[in-house]
Amino acid sequence: MAEEKPLVGDDGAFYTGKLAATEYVGDGTKTLHALVGGGEKTSGGDGMYVITAKAESNSFFPAKAKVGELYPALGTEVLAAGDKVKKLNLTHVADCTGWQIDITQSEIDVTRLVDKFKKYRLGKKDASGTVNSIMTLGVSDEADGMIAKTIKTFRRKIEGSSSTVTITDVANEPVYFLGYVNKTDVPGETEAFIFGQVYLFNVKLGGSTGNAQSFDSSMRLTGQDPVFYSLDIPGLTS
């Protein structure tokens, strides 16, 4: 019987992701461990991958899995010839204190004169979200932090006798995200998250005495439709 676990806010987490440049191409014989590590590797191929192509026939991926969607891999998967994936490198958004995404659907009034009750059909779905954060130096002001997604940044780091300056322009690029409602790595438990591609925007700078410098950023969907994932964590003997 599946675990029943009422969730609280502290069970969650928020990650953003970038696609790696390397594309792994299945050949029908090698596991992901071997494709990633080479030779007869039996580790290193687990992780989050985005499907970039599916074989025309006998694809490893389930029929309803689409190109552009996420596939959480154990590493033992053997991709068919024609199956292709890219690793999704994840970054924990460490200044995040909470996140929410609201999924709604429009309703279209199709009531006719002969109807005694109003009738409806459902229209397009929509989603909008918020990422709640506390301004955290060393996180929020990094090149992949929320500030750099909103305004141009200048960052100087000093290590010993040398200094490095990094200037980041606003790119307005979408990012992949994993919004966890339950983040765990405990064998036997289930982790769950929503995956999608969004634009993250808006930030508030400044604060007042006695309060954390908090801000809320908005997110809007783009690219593939979001998918909700529930993953049983393998046991030590799996």
Distance CA 149, CA 121 (A): 38
Report yes or no on 10 lying in a domain: no
If asked whether residues 196 and 225 sit together in one domain, one would say: yes
Give pLDDT, residue 7: 94
Say whether both 116 and 221 belong to one domain: yes
Average pLDDT, integer, range 1-12: 85
Cα 128 to Cα 177: distance, rounded to the nearest angstrom? 13
Q: How many CB atoms lie within 10 A of CB 140?
A: 20
Q: Do residues 70 and 137 share a domain?
A: no
Is residue 167 within 8 A of residue 154, CB to CB? The reply is yes
Judge if 113 and 170 occupy the same domain: yes
Q: Tell me the two tokens of residue 123.
A: 């229209």
Element (H, E) at 35: helix 32-37
Q: Which residues of 161-175 are buried (b: 16+ CB within 10 A; e: fewer)?
A: eeeeeeebeeeeebb
Q: Looking at the structure, tell me whether residues 75 and 140 fall in a common domain.
A: no
Query: Is 7 inside a domain boundary?
Result: no
Q: Report the distance separating Cα 122 and Cα 142, nearest Å.
A: 42
**Can you give the pLDDT at residue 188?**
87
Residues 76 and 101 in one domain: no
Flag whether 5 is in a domain: no
pLDDT digits over 62-96, tens only?
999 999 999 999 999 999 999 999 999 999 999 99
Report pLDDT digits (tens) over 12-40.
999 999 999 999 999 999 999 999 988 77
Query: Are 179 and 132 members of one domain?
Result: yes
pLDDT tens for each residue of 110-164? 999 999 999 999 999 999 999 999 999 989 988 888 888 889 999 899 999 999 9
Beta-strand (E) ranges in 81-233?
84-92, 96-109, 120-134, 153-159, 162-168, 175-182, 190-201, 214-232
Residue range(s) defining the domain that contains residue 22? 18-88
pLDDT value at residue 238: 43
Residue 13 lies in a domain: no
Q: pLDDT value at position 236?
A: 54
Domain count within the chain? 2
End-to-end CA distance of the chain, in Å?
18
Same structural domain for residues 139 and 37? no
Report angle CA 64, 69, 71 to the nearest 5 degrees. 85
Residue 112's Cβ-side half-sphere holds a number of Cα atoms within 13 Å equal to 2
Which residues neighbour 137 within 8 Å (Cβ) at sequence distance 6 or greater?
none
Determine, yes or no, domain membership for 38.
Answer: yes
Q: Which of 64, 88, 112 is the last residue of a domain?
A: 88
In a domain, 73, yes or no: yes
